[in-house]
């Protein structure tokens, strides 16, 4: 499908606006005349960071995720603030969630996380040259102290269904492709 063949958004009505995202209901017209309704979650974007310490271990966190009602093992991540670059967000999130700052941040790539219904784009980073430099966690976050794991342990936990967080799986997949 070329750009000229893409559907046209005839209308878009915001139905909800929260602190982190908004939801719209869009009327979309395909070039063959078929019209459909699409519900879209508009998200400002996020970052996710794989952090490697000086011993070659990877730093993960356990965090309560209310939408699934579970503590998940995942990499540090967070939503971009208005006007904030992805790399600035990454640097801040590492400090808030792990207590470390990165001397080096390398962009690994990015992806749409749920393009069927959400505009969230996540940029992935590799953080190295870590040093202790904590920032307070965001209000209301329940993040346990960082966990240091080998790449083999992470692979085992992904394959056994212990690590089920998509951004964590994508990040280590991107890293393995570099």
DSSP character string of 68-83: TTEEEEE--EEEPPTT
Provide CATH 3.90.79.10 ranges for the chain: 46-177
> What is the model's pTM?
0.92
Per-residue model confidence as pLDDT tens digits over 33-59: 999 999 999 999 999 999 999 999 999
Q: Is residue 4 very low, low, confident or very high in pLDDT (cuts 50, 70, 90)?
A: confident
- The residue written with tokens 């992470």 in the block is 154
pLDDT at 129: 98
pLDDT at 138: 67
**pLDDT, the chain, mean:** 95
pLDDT at 32: 93
pLDDT at 2: 85
Residue in 117, 122, 130, 127 with CA at minimum distance from that of residue 175: 127
pLDDT at 118: 98
Per-residue model confidence as pLDDT tens digits over 119-146: 999 999 999 999 998 777 666 666 788 9
Q: What are phi and psi of 147, to 5 degrees?
A: -110, 135
Q: Hey, which residues does 9 pair with through a beta bridge?
A: 28
Kindly give the pairing relationship between strand 147-149 and strand 58-65.
Answer: antiparallel
Q: What is the CATH number of domain 46-177?
A: 3.90.79.10
Termini Cα distance of the chain: 30
CA 142 to chain centre: 17
pLDDT at 137: 66
Per-residue model confidence as pLDDT tens digits over 150-170: 999 999 999 999 999 999 999
Q: For residues 178 and 108, is the Cβ–Cβ distance under 8 A? A: yes
**Calpha distance 60→51 (Å, rounded):** 8
Percent of the chain topping pLDDT 70: 96
């Amino acid at each position: 499908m070329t750009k000229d063949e893409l559907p046209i958004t005839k209308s878009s009505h915001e139905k909800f606006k929260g602190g982190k995202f908004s939801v719209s209901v869009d009327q979309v017209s395909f070039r063959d005349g078929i019209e459909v309704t699409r519900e879209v979650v508009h998200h400002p974007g996020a970052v996710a960071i794989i952090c490697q310490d000086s011993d070659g271990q990877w730093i993960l966190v356990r965090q309560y995720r209310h939408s699934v009602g579970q503590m998940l093992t995942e990499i540090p991540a967070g939503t971009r603030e208005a006007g904030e670059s992805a790399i600035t967000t990454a640097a801040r999130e590492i400090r808030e969630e792990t207590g470390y700052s990165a001397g080096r941040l390398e962009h690994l790539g990015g992806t749409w996380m749920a393009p069927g219904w959400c505009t969230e784009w996540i940029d992935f980073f590799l953080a190295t040259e870590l040093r202790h430099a904590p920032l307070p966690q965001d209000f209301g976050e329940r993040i346990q102290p960082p966990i240091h794991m080998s790449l083999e342990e992470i692979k085992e936990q992904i394959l056994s269904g212990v690590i089920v967080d998509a951004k964590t799986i994508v990040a280590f997949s991107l890293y393995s492709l570099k």
